[in-house]
Amino acid sequence: MPRDALGVLSEIKRSFITKQLKEGKRGDGRGLLDFREATITTNYVPRAAGSAMVKLGRTRVLAGVKIESGEPFPDTPNSGVLTTNVELLPMAFPTFEAGPPNETSIEIARVVDRGIRESKMIDTQKLVIEPGKKVWIVFVDINIMDFDGNLIDACTLAAVSALRSAFIPASKEGGKDMPLPVDQIPVSVTMVKIGDELVCDPDLEEEQLGSARVTVTTTEDGHIRAMQKGDTGNFTLEEIKKAIKISSDTGATLRKKYFS
Amino acid sequence: MPRDALGVLSEIKRSFITKQLKEGKRGDGRGLLDFREATITTNYVPRAAGSAMVKLGRTRVLAGVKIESGEPFPDTPNSGVLTTNVELLPMAFPTFEAGPPNETSIEIARVVDRGIRESKMIDTQKLVIEPGKKVWIVFVDINIMDFDGNLIDACTLAAVSALRSAFIPASKEGGKDMPLPVDQIPVSVTMVKIGDELVCDPDLEEEQLGSARVTVTTTEDGHIRAMQKGDTGNFTLEEIKKAIKISSDTGATLRKKYFS
Amino acid sequence: MPRDALGVLSEIKRSFITKQLKEGKRGDGRGLLDFREATITTNYVPRAAGSAMVKLGRTRVLAGVKIESGEPFPDTPNSGVLTTNVELLPMAFPTFEAGPPNETSIEIARVVDRGIRESKMIDTQKLVIEPGKKVWIVFVDINIMDFDGNLIDACTLAAVSALRSAFIPASKEGGKDMPLPVDQIPVSVTMVKIGDELVCDPDLEEEQLGSARVTVTTTEDGHIRAMQKGDTGNFTLEEIKKAIKISSDTGATLRKKYFS
Amino acid sequence: MGSESNIKLLDESGMRLDGRTPEQLRPIKIETNLLERADGSAYIEWGGNKIMVAVYGPREAYPKHTQDIEKAVVKARYNMAAFSVDERKRPGPDRRSVEISKVISEALSSAIMVEQFPRAQIDVFIEVMQADAGTRIAGLTAASVAVASAGIPMRDMVVGCTAGKVEGKVVLDLSKEEDNFGQADLPIAVLSKSKKIVLIQMDGDLSLEEFDQASEMIMKATDNIAEIQRNALTSRYSVENIGDGE
Amino acid sequence: MGSESNIKLLDESGMRLDGRTPEQLRPIKIETNLLERADGSAYIEWGGNKIMVAVYGPREAYPKHTQDIEKAVVKARYNMAAFSVDERKRPGPDRRSVEISKVISEALSSAIMVEQFPRAQIDVFIEVMQADAGTRIAGLTAASVAVASAGIPMRDMVVGCTAGKVEGKVVLDLSKEEDNFGQADLPIAVLSKSKKIVLIQMDGDLSLEEFDQASEMIMKATDNIAEIQRNALTSRYSVENIGDGE
Amino acid sequence: MGSESNIKLLDESGMRLDGRTPEQLRPIKIETNLLERADGSAYIEWGGNKIMVAVYGPREAYPKHTQDIEKAVVKARYNMAAFSVDERKRPGPDRRSVEISKVISEALSSAIMVEQFPRAQIDVFIEVMQADAGTRIAGLTAASVAVASAGIPMRDMVVGCTAGKVEGKVVLDLSKEEDNFGQADLPIAVLSKSKKIVLIQMDGDLSLEEFDQASEMIMKATDNIAEIQRNALTSRYSVENIGDGE
């Protein structure tokens, strides 16, 4: 994440925020483990097979799904293909630049992708048109439009919402259009460590203050499907276990709130 | 066009040229609407399917045509393919750099391409070898070798001349070599606005002085097939209409002079 | 070769080395025409079809061969494909940078490739699986890991050793795995001209001192299969003829030492 | 232009596939400042087009050799989202978007008081989220609003529209089908008060009379669209909900 | 994770395909300073993995705008040789290697006293010559040794291991088959003394209990691997022959 | 080298397909200063080769880190037009053109008084408009004339020729068929007065005797070609018409 994007936070602001957090308070009034309110607008782009505009606080991302027929990978001839791409649009932040994916956007895309893939949200074996020859390829493209922290969770929310709203254009291949079959709902929860506190769904200032970041993606059964630690700080094993617990609990809340 | 390529014209020179233009005079003695003399050498590159070296004043461009068999685009299965590419060779000007096409060369290529395509100069439906599977692909490559203004018209002249001289190597596909069937002859005429005057076929100094540029491509019937406004200045609608008239008249003259 | 890589050699060192060479002495005790000792470890990467780690003095390169089935080139339908690539890994030298092949690595790869190809070391006509449709493609990838001069000879040694150790995975195509059929053994010998002396197998300091470089690749019959002059200096024709003789003689020695 | 089709684009009474008359615009909606980070922003819906524009600047031009010592450089970047068109588009610029970015940059430069900001650059990011014919004009029209919403001084607003030829008839504001199967496409953008033309392109086949007719239609339409621009800049209340598309 | 397979990865007594017990590591060998040019280097064999790491720096960060005025920037570059995997890999970075380079850079930054070298960069080049599952952890473990061998001050060594789930059982240090056909992969790297976690990733399916079991296995294993690191840094004699792989 | 063919490249009396004797050159024509913008330029026709060369410089080397404080850097760029060869070539450099640009740059550096222009660069753009075997030597031979026509001080002209082996016989100045189906290709370029070799490459199969024979043929031929260079530099009158190719 662009730690230096805003320049260095002023020392005064930094110590103020840290002190507040010790008392369990955050700048916008949230508790340490609270998520910001999310607004999810599915079918924002009717021309896409599925889509969702997600606002998570002041972070805004738009996910679109396209489903096209194509060849399977040689080593998985009986399986459709899922591919996830994230674009950090230069409109989203003063220092973002146009260009091919960089390490930040690649990391986000891969963490989101692993959460969806490992939770078996999409049964890719149902995406076969002609075994070994033709399968459905599901493109998930996520555009970052406004950046105020926690892109991984915003992108996971958007990708999952867009996939849940997606239709397979099977009529193009002589079948009947049908909803994309989805099963498990992965929810990712990202925390940063500020001082000794774990803080959920950090905004940009909190991300800049955090020494380390961890994302845990879980499914309804409470199982972990993906994890990713970021940044140059560290965690104790106990903190990681705590983060897993938080993610599992918060994931359940979010799943109920947005996906039921 | 590289407005800043030569640095800023000296103020003295600038006001001298502008004053002259008001009196209807140009540096090389032309009238405001006169084209520079063009030298067109077709079949300059005998190994190409068609080619033409064009000198327009001190601007020099070389167009070569290659015609190869290949697959049609999926959405136009019964149509050959025409593709136009312009290379601003670094030999042509001190500040031109080697590298992939930039916005200048892309704009030129696309304006030239639209003129040829929309005039229906090439009947792409006659370029089908096997419907849906194999068609002739016509590559028009235009190299800018020496730059003294008005690349769009020089490139259109060169591309049209090269196409008119081109042969389809049909013997490679079991047929008989034959001339590329061409119909309408598009002629583009580019003007710049200096002060309130429209000046045809500007050289580099005039391009630098101009506030806005407009290209109008017409066919023998006087119809407009392509237009492109460039640069940060503007035109009144009346000026545009005047430009269309000039293009249509000048186009007729050029068509007669070079293509009859 | 990165002449300026180490900065300029100190004038004192430069004149000392030059003086020594006039007396036929080199920094490490070698005679002017002596090669450094080479350590060749074949099958260093068992997972590759063939491989060889080569240390030539303090220069270290690793060649790996992969053999995969694929389509032949349209103009040589009855011939397998040999392709050689060199990577100047940034680990090998302080100023090497990661990125696509540059002119140095491309030159090395092409000289190594020509030596192997023109000596007919690999009979590519034996690499056909199904004429016109499927052939074996032999990828030779050479990684430069530590750089102390004379990359061309180290890479030729590594590539030839790796190819000699390589197996064709024919069982994947319904056949039986078999050694890659190799015939002639090309040996390249590179010399630099320092003052009026030809110096074999230069280390980095000697390369920096040299005014010109020449590589001659020969086969057992003493025939020349590839030559390449490098650097901004020059050679007399007599010097080139002498270089050919040296290469032919030294090649015979090296061939006996490492490939018999 | 001019792919053949069996679709009948005009009915006997001259009405269009989507029920519009020849001179009728599609519905247009513009909102401002939906984005938090950008110095200014605008969102436009124009028919099925959904386009977001963000403006950053004036800020120091970078890299330095791109600076103009006399004025600000306007760098528009027109970009289509991968999912904005029927077949997924590979992310990143293609030749079409490079050309459109160039003509939009030039058009905006005509309107912005660039001479007030030497050595600066003004970035205009135009993101097409859903494309439905006429994106360059819709994007430019929204971009002008976004620049204004950033408080960047302008001598006039830029506003545009397209006209075209369909089955031999001149019509305003081409729909997607009319764009695909029509005979001409003429996008024009003007300074809204002076009506000076800052962008014009054309491809297809137009006689002089048809050009006159088409350009007059566009000129008239720009008055209406300029009105929508002005409203967007003065009333910014119910932005969120509308912009988010329900 | 989780491709299906007919291979039986565990036998009745819980032994693994390569004969290891669930908590048994593959053989690990580390050597230092095989490379002449680099400021420090290390070679690791871990199972069938063969990885060379070179370190350059601290040196002035380039280009300048990448400099951090407060500390050195650690730039790890994880790269797979074209011939290191079953199918030839095109040279150059791909998305996977970009991500791995990022998490390794961050992990090493935790251990190196970066604050001692403002404006500097430390380059860590990790070249996978043969890949056999667990390359990121093997590369990071060797990288820590290479950094130390370059004399760069560290607050602690970084050492890691993976665990995973195979046929429902948690096992340590996945083999290639277990990685391809197993149900979870959990790489963790820690500071060797404090056991603070500097790298953790996971993909697959783990219950909380399985995570606890897997992470404890890894923590125990890192003690043994740290011992191998220490030995490599103190005894550098027979390096050449071993490193060259016979 | 050495693709097999049924074409008979030499007849019974040793004459070549195009009627030349073994030691005969193809027709060569050189003109100077056809280009207006370049500081110097040359056009060469050599057999069917048509090549234009432009020279810019000496000018300050850019970017700065490429400057050599002791001498000018010569940057030749050999480029083939898309339509210059039988199958359309994608624009832009490929591995072959990168290598040729390198050896041509080095050869020209030998001849130019680069030490007179520290920190400068001299750009030499070689554009192959039609290729017909021997383009690198033809391009270099023309480049030397172009550099001289730019008034850049040289210690000597560079002039070259190729020889090769065809059906076991050594012949001068390979034609396209001889290049495709012959057994060896030996391009050499020398300083025209001292005969010092500044470029040599070879691929194919040559015995020492054959090399001697081929190199002597080339040395002799370079006298004739140097004469054509000199004439081009002294008589510049009928340039336009000839250069334009009728």
Q: What is the pTM of this model?
A: 0.95
Please state whether at least 3 CB pairs lie below 8 Å between chains C and F. Answer: yes
In Å, what is the CA distance from B80 to each residue of B74, B117, B135, B156, B184?
A: 11, 12, 5, 20, 17
What average pLDDT does the segment B59-85 reach?
96
d(CA C50, CA F223): 49
Residue of chain C whose Cα is closest to the Cα of E244: C41
E strand segments, chain F: 28-32, 40-46, 49-60, 73-80, 120-130, 158-166, 169-172, 184-191, 197-206
Residue D14, both tokens:
């001259």
Which of A140, A145, A151, A203 to substitute to test the interface with D, most D CBs within 10 Å? A145
Per-residue confidence (pLDDT) for residue F242, from 0 to 100: 42
Q: For chain F (length 246 residues), average pLDDT per consecutive 10? A: 73 93 97 97 98 97 92 98 97 97 98 97 98 98 98 97 97 96 97 98 97 98 97 68 42
User: Per-residue pLDDT tens for A100-132?
Assistant: 999 999 999 999 999 999 999 999 999 999 999
Of D186, D205, D215, nearest to B237 by CB-CB distance is D215
Handedness of CA B121, B124, B125, B127 (dihedral sign): positive
Q: Residues for chain B: how many in total?
A: 260
Q: Is the CB of D245 less than 8 angstroms away from the CB of A41?
A: yes
User: Per-residue pLDDT tens for C195-219?
Assistant: 999 999 999 999 999 999 999 999 9
User: Per-residue pLDDT tens for B94-151?
Assistant: 999 999 999 999 999 999 999 999 999 999 999 999 999 999 999 999 999 999 999 9
Per-residue confidence (pLDDT) for residue A42, from 0 to 100: 98
pLDDT of A5 strictly over 60: no
Chains B & D: contacts with CB separation below 8 Å: 93
Answer for the pair B151, B61: CB distance below 8 angstroms, yes or no.
yes
Residue C243, both tokens:
């270089």
Per-residue confidence (pLDDT) for residue D49, from 0 to 100: 98
| Interface check D125 vs A, CB under 8 A | yes
d(CA F179, CA F172): 11
Q: Is the CB of F211 less than 8 angstroms away from the CB of C118?
A: no
Q: Is the CB of F87 less than 8 angstroms away from the CB of B91?
A: no
Q: Is the CB of A98 less than 8 angstroms away from the CB of D77?
A: yes
**Could you tell me which residues come within 8 angstroms of residue F176 by beta carbon, excluding any fewer than 6 positions away?**
F48, F132, F133
Residue of chain C whose Cα is closest to the Cα of F98: C103
d(CA C75, CA F4): 11
Per-residue confidence (pLDDT) for residue C12, from 0 to 100: 82
Q: Is the CB of D99 less than 8 angstroms away from the CB of B103?
A: yes
φ, ψ for residue A37, nearest 5 deg: -65, 135
Nearest chain A CA: its distance from D16 CA (Å): 21
What average pLDDT does the segment C12-18 reach?
84
* Helix boundaries (H) for C119-236: 151-164, 204-209
* Helix boundaries (H) for chain A: 11-22, 103-118, 151-164, 204-209, 237-258
d(CA F242, CA F226): 20
| Interface check F179 vs C, CB under 8 A | no
Nearest chain C CA: its distance from F157 CA (Å): 13
Confidence of residue D29 (pLDDT cuts 50, 70, 90): very high
Q: Is the CB of C45 less than 8 angstroms away from the CB of E131?
A: no
Show the CA angle centred on residue C144, arms to residues C138 and C149, nearest 5°.
125
d(CA B19, CA B200): 17
Confidence of residue A16 (pLDDT cuts 50, 70, 90): confident
d(CA F210, CA C223): 9
Nearest chain E CA: its distance from C239 CA (Å): 33
What average pLDDT does the segment C224-251 reach?
98
d(CA D97, CA A163): 28
Q: Is the CB of D77 less than 8 angstroms away from the CB of A146?
A: no
Per-residue confidence (pLDDT) for residue F2, from 0 to 100: 58
Which of F83, F87, F90 to substitute to test the interface with B, most B CBs within 10 Å? F83
pLDDT of B68 strictly over 50: yes
Please state whether at least 3 CB pairs lie below 8 Å between chains E and C. Answer: yes
Please state whether at least 3 CB pairs lie below 8 Å between chains D and A. Answer: yes
Per-residue confidence (pLDDT) for residue E246, from 0 to 100: 38
Residue D63, both tokens:
């890299």
Nearest chain C CA: its distance from E111 CA (Å): 21
Q: Chains with 3 or more CB pairs closer than 8 angstroms to B?
A: D, F
Handedness of CA C240, C241, C245, C248 (dihedral sign): positive
Per-residue confidence (pLDDT) for residue B176, from 0 to 100: 93
3-state secondary structure at position E14: coil
| Interface check B91 vs F, CB under 8 A | yes
Cβ-Cβ contacts under 8 Å, C236 against chain F: 195-197
Residue E91, both tokens:
């040279």
Count CB-CB contacts under 10 A for residue A68: 14
Residue C68, both tokens:
């995969």
Q: Is the CB of E83 less than 8 angstroms away from the CB of C92?
A: no
d(CA A185, CA A223): 12
For residue B193, what is the enclosing H or E element?
strand B187-194
* Stretch 199-218 of chain A: residues touching chain E, C-beta under 8 Å: 214
Cβ-Cβ contacts under 8 Å, D212 against chain B: 241
| Interface check B157 vs F, CB under 8 A | no
Per-residue confidence (pLDDT) for residue D4, from 0 to 100: 62
In Å, what is the CA distance from A251 to each residue of A107, A201, A222, A248?
A: 21, 12, 9, 5
User: Per-residue pLDDT tens for C68-125?
Assistant: 999 999 889 999 999 999 999 999 999 999 999 999 999 999 999 999 999 999 999 9
Cβ-Cβ contacts under 8 Å, D109 against chain B: 232
Residue E85, both tokens:
């995997």
Of F54, F59, F132, nearest to B91 by CB-CB distance is F54
Residue with tokens 């800043």, as numbered in its chain: B4
Q: Residues for chain E: how many in total?
A: 246
pLDDT of A14 strictly over 90: no
Mean pLDDT, all residues of chain E: 93
Residue of chain B whose Cα is closest to the Cα of D184: B225
Cβ-Cβ contacts under 8 Å, C224 against chain F: 202, 205-208, 211
| Interface check F245 vs B, CB under 8 A | yes
pLDDT of A2 strictly over 60: no
φ, ψ for residue A250, nearest 5 deg: -65, -35
Q: Chains with 3 or more CB pairs closer than 8 angstroms to F?
A: B, C
| Interface check A257 vs D, CB under 8 A | no
What's the complex ipTM?
A: 0.95
Of B41, B46, B92, nearest to F37 by CB-CB distance is B92
Domain boundaries, given as residue ranges, for chain C:
3-259
pLDDT of E74 strictly over 60: yes
Which of E59, E53, E18, E20 has the alpha carbon at shortest distance from E38? E53
Which of B76, B105, B234 to substitute to test the interface with D, most D CBs within 10 Å? B234
Name beta bridge partners: B213.
B192, B230
Which of C91, C106, C146 to substitute to test the interface with E, most E CBs within 10 Å? C91
Per-residue confidence (pLDDT) for residue E14, from 0 to 100: 87
* Stretch 46-85 of chain D: residues touching chain A, C-beta under 8 Å: 48, 50, 52-54, 56, 59, 77, 79, 81-85
What average pLDDT does the segment B158-182 reach?
95
Cβ-Cβ contacts under 8 Å, C214 against chain F: 200
| Interface check A225 vs E, CB under 8 A | yes
φ, ψ for residue D67, nearest 5 deg: -70, 145
Residue of chain C whose Cα is closest to the Cα of F194: C236
User: Per-residue pLDDT tens for C165-181?
Assistant: 999 999 999 889 999 99
Residue with tokens 């940078």, as numbered in its chain: C97
Pick the CATH number of C3-259 from 1.10.3210.10, 3.30.230.70, 3.40.630.10, 3.20.20.120: 3.30.230.70
Residue C112, both tokens:
């190594």
Nearest chain D CA: its distance from A202 CA (Å): 17
User: Per-residue pLDDT tens for E54-64?
Assistant: 999 999 998 88
| Interface check C72 vs F, CB under 8 A | no
pLDDT of A18 strictly over 60: yes
| Interface check D124 vs B, CB under 8 A | no
d(CA A228, CA A244): 11
Answer for the pair C185, C259: CB distance below 8 angstroms, yes or no.
yes
d(CA F125, CA C231): 20
Confidence of residue E7 (pLDDT cuts 50, 70, 90): confident
Per-residue confidence (pLDDT) for residue E3, from 0 to 100: 62
Cβ-Cβ contacts under 8 Å, F102 against chain C: 103, 106-107
Question: E28-236 is classed in which CATH architecture?
Answer: 2-Layer Sandwich (3.30)
What average pLDDT does the segment D200-220 reach?
98
Chains C & E: contacts with CB separation below 8 Å: 98
Which of A67, A44, A47, A66 has the alpha carbon at shortest distance from A55? A44
Confidence of residue A260 (pLDDT cuts 50, 70, 90): confident
